[in-house]
């Protein structure tokens, strides 16, 4: 099993206020190992909330798929780094990120089977 290591996003992903964006998705049953999520609040005034969801193939974004709910202070950046990687295994499994109260910028790091 060969792995492509590094960023799982090719660029910074902007998540607008009140929206949720699918950021990494398993394709062709190639496992994805999420090692860290970086979230930055673009506002200098309002604390944002970053919501991270692990959505198995066929499921939808609900409170039952939420795995993190993090406050991000104005102009601050947070690093979400689980003790063990979050492993996405089935085609269609994904990590989605939502934002409340303000836009956030997100990068996800980890490994992908090639």
Q: For each of the chain's 114 residues, which pLDDT tens digit applies?
A: 687 777 899 899 999 999 999 999 999 999 999 999 999 999 999 999 999 999 999 899 999 999 999 999 999 999 999 999 999 999 999 999 999 999 999 999 999 998
Of 33, 19, 37, which is closest to residue 77 (Cα–Cα)? Answer: 37
Enter the pTM of the model.
0.93
Specify the pLDDT at position 5. 78
Distance CA 78, CA 60 (A): 25
Specify the pLDDT at position 25. 96
Of 109, 101, 84, 114, which is closest to residue 13 (Cα–Cα)? Answer: 109
Specify the pLDDT at position 1. 67
All structural domains of the chain, each given as residue ranges with its CATH number in brackets, are: 3-113 (2.60.120.340)
Give the torsion sign (CA, 49, 72, 42, 46): positive
């Amino acid at each position: 099993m060969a792995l492509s290591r590094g960023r799982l996003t090719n660029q910074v992903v902007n998540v607008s206020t009140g929206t949720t964006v699918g950021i990494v998705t398993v394709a062709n049953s190639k496992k994805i190992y999420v090692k860290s999520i970086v979230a930055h609040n673009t506002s200098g005034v309002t604390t944002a909330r970053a919501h991270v969801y692990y959505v198995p193939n066929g499921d939808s974004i609900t409170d039952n798929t939420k795995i993190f709910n993090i406050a991000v202070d104005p102009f601050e950046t947070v690093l979400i780094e689980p003790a063990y990687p979050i492993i996405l295994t089935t085609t269609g499994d994904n990590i989605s990120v939502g934002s409340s109260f303000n836009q956030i910028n997100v990068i996800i790091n980890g490994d992908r089977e090639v």
